[in-house]
Chain A
Amino acid sequence: MAKPKVAFFSFSSCEGCQLMFLNLEDELLDLLGKVDIVRFREAMKEVLSEDYDVAFVEGSITTHADIEEVKHIREHTKILIAFGACATIGGINAIKNFQPLDDVRKYVYGDKWQTYDTVPTMAVNQVVKVDYYIHGCPVSKKEILAVVTALLQGKEPLIPDYPVCVECKMAENVCVYDKGLVCMGPVTRAGCGALCPSYGNKCIGCRGLISDPNTNAQKDLLAEKGLTVDDILKEFRMFDGLSEVSKK
């Protein structure tokens, strides 16, 4: 069997998810034996193919040019993976959607604001069909490997659809709420191993909402902790501004 042709692309993002791929220091050389990386602008000059079996797409779609480019990628790949929070749920790029976009452009670029094209931030699946999602800001190395391994074996990758709280309990952490902090764990998709609560911090919701979150209960919980409606919306809108709950 020929090795699958894999390509990496980035739109509006910090390129940290591509870096997470390069951070697979123990596995990278083995991986290169299993797949052909044919395009990866951040790391390679050579473009070995313009058609791909798997395209990892990092970043949000935020300009008219992005829209055309991601459509082009979709036409040239068999499988498209939304890679990281900017691509899967819009991530922090969607914060700007809650201000008038012309104001945003004027605040940052002053009298030259019209030079800078921007559209409301979109996740990749708002423009083209996405086959698989690797969540997180940044993605976890473990999940990159799990998805790549599943695809190499011809299996469906398993993406968790239960809240971070499950993993946090398994990690035997003291509940973040008991420490007096507010946490997005009860409504946020697991898969990170509850990394942030395990480092004494709170879940900030970078992996997006689970598919059936009890957002009303979460809002009540946050309100019980003394947060105002504005504060609560800020919690939801940090990474997940495109979700229905953030719009209310």
Chain B
Amino acid sequence: MSDIDYMAERYWEDVSVGDQLAGFEKNLDWTQMVLQVSGSQDWNLVHHDLDYARDSGMPGIFYNTGWTTGMLGRLLTDWAGRSGWVEKLSFQMRGMNFSGTAVRAHGVVTAKRKDGEHALVDLDIFLENDQAGVTSPGKATVRLPIKDQ
């Protein structure tokens, strides 16, 4: 079970630059590989066929963009609270997350600002694994509710 209170609100006023997101980890075992294909519906052979991945010059199966987006998206929505809205999410695939590694999603608040009526928080977000370090650095903007509005 999760210890996240999904019903709770996260208010813009309560966020500070430097706040760390709790994040989470995943071990990329064979079950996770199957869930990756099922959840993303990405049937590119490099994401589930070891022989094809090696023929493509890769050391093994690596996890796809849909999975990477999902991991970073969950990182943000776990943190954003009931009414928080992810406005922007971007990342680079600088390294690959291969089967057999352990991956951690984490992030940090880098700025707070207002754009008209919108109260925004900017974040740096990351996927990193235990063998290659940071594989997918990214940035995000989350809109949060303001107290008494």
Chain B binds chain A: no
- State the B residues within 8 Å of A (CB): none
- State the A residues within 8 Å of B (CB): none
